[in-house]
């Protein structure tokens, strides 16, 4: 393998969420000067470059989930040979729920320089627009696709005091908000940010039940959800927790496992919740 050349480096570059005018001058310079550009979608990269009036001078290669691992040796090798490798994704910052982490880790492991050109981020943009507290927050990536996993996802946020941000598909947002309202309560505040920085940008704020009702009519575009943190000392009542356990059991979980998971997320006694579920079952069957 070629010897390390300290002039080579990996550059992570944030790209506009929708409006090409949000591109930084440094991104324009990087597109014009990089030896290799690794892009999540090469077509979108070329469209962005055209909008910015800067034809890429270097070699453009695809770098998306399915080929990420296979591309690592070549890209790391390019940096080792003294080349500048520019990594861009479709929108926002590479590695943040987008390809990039493995390449960064591989370059760090090899002792190669890694730097970043900051810029647009759907996470912080949605957070700032949400109208919810921003001092402390957590980013949860994409919400799980399967109902059982999503239920557990929200159960884990039941007592989270920080504002939470997550991404969701337009095809699943209605079901996700309805489930969130069921698990966290319909009054829990949230904001749904759609098509950020684009002509049809829309920010909907309200309780989860209200937002779920709105989304039921169909929602399009890229979506970021901001969820208010739990109020200090707030805890769901026991009847609500019993319903959550029942939901997990209906999806195939063992009763003891479901009770333990819900109890841990809510910060209540596992035995107390388990006994309450058994009591509710006896009452339901008239025993």
**How confident is the model over 64-81, as pLDDT tens digits?**
999 999 999 999 999 999
Q: Are 123 and 167 in contact (CB under 8 A)?
A: no
More confident residue, 286 or 60: 60
b/e map 266-284, b = 16+ CB within 10 Å: bebeeeebbebbeebeeee
Q: How many CB atoms lie within 10 A of CB 163?
A: 21
Confirm if 121 and 96 have CB atoms less than 8 A apart.
Answer: yes
Average pLDDT, integer, range 122-128:
97
H-helix or E-strand spanning residue 210: helix 208-215
Q: Which residue has the higher pLDDT, 160 or 1?
A: 160
Token reading at 275? 């006994």
Q: Are residues 273 and 259 in contact, defined by beta-carbon separation less than 8 angstroms? A: yes
Topology of the domain covering 123-227: 3.30.950
Give the confidence band of 156 by pLDDT, cuts at 50, 70, 90: confident
- CA-to-CA separations, 181 to 211, 215, 267, in angstroms, rounded: 9, 13, 19
Q: What is the pLDDT of residues 173-187, one digit of tens each?
A: 999 999 999 888 899
Instruction: Report, in angstroms and rounded to the nearest whole number, the Rg of the chain calculated over CA atoms.
Output: 23
The mean pLDDT value for 27-51 works out to 97
CB–CB of 243/221 below 8 Å? no
Distance CA 61, CA 214 (A): 41
Structural domain 9-120, CATH architecture = 3-Layer(aba) Sandwich (3.40)
Whole-structure pTM value: 0.79
pLDDT in the model for residue 209:
96
Of 59-68, 114-123, 254-263, the one with minimum mean pLDDT is 254-263
3-state secondary structure of 139: strand
- Rounded to whole angstroms, the Cα distance separating 62 from 115 reads 20
| CA dist list (Å): 279 to 92, 267, 284 | 50, 20, 9
> Mean of the pLDDT values across residues 236-256?
85
Asked whether the predicted pLDDT for residue 237 surpasses 80, the reply is no
More confident residue, 22 or 263: 22
Residue 236: pLDDT band by 50, 70, 90 thresholds? Answer: low
Using pLDDT thresholds of 50, 70 and 90, give the confidence band for residue 214: very high
Domains of the chain, by residue range, sit at 9-120, 123-227, 238-284
Beta carbons of 117 and 13 less than 8 angstroms apart: yes
Predicted confidence band at 170 (pLDDT cuts at 50, 70, 90)? Answer: very high
Among 254, 259, 257, which Cα is nearest to 274's? 259
Could you tell me which of 117, 100, 107, 91 has the C-alpha nearest to residue 11?
117
3-class secondary structure, 202: strand
């Amino acid at each position: 393998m070629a010897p390390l050349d300290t002039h080579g480096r990996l550059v992570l570059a944030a790209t506009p969420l929708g409006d090409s005018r949000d591109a930084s001058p440094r991104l324009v310079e990087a597109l014009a000067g990089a030896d290799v550009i690794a892009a999540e979608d090469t077509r979108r990269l070329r469209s962005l470059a055209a909008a910015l009036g800067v034809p890429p001078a270097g070699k453009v290669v695809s770098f998306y989930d399915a080929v990420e691992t296979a591309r690592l040796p070549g890209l790391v090798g390019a940096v080792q040979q003294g080349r500048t490798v520019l990594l861009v994704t479709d929108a926002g910052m590479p590695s943040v729920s987008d390809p990039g982490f493995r390449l960064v880790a591989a370059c760090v492991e090899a002792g190669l320089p890694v730097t970043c050109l900051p810029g647009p981020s759907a996470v912080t943009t949605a957070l700032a627009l949400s109208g919810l507290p921003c001092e402390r927050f957590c980013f949860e990536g994409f919400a799980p696709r399967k109902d059982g996993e999503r239920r557990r996802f929200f159960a884990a946020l039941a007592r989270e005091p920080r504002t939470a941000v997550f991404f969701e598909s337009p095809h699943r947002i209605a079901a996700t908000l309805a489930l969130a309202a069921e698990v966290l309560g319909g009054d829990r505040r949230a904001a749904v940010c759609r098509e950020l920085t684009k002509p049809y940008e829309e920010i909907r704020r309200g309780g989860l039940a209200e937002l779920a009702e709105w989304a039921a009519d169909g929602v399009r575009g890229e979506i970021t959800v901001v969820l208010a943190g739990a109020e200090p000392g707030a805890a769901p009542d026991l009847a609500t927790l019993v319903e959550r356990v029942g939901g997990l059991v209906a999806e195939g979980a063992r009763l003891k496992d479901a009770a333990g998971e819900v109890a841990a997320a809510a910060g209540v006694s596992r035995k107390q919740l388990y006994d309450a579920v058994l009591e509710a079952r006896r009452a339901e069957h008239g025993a």
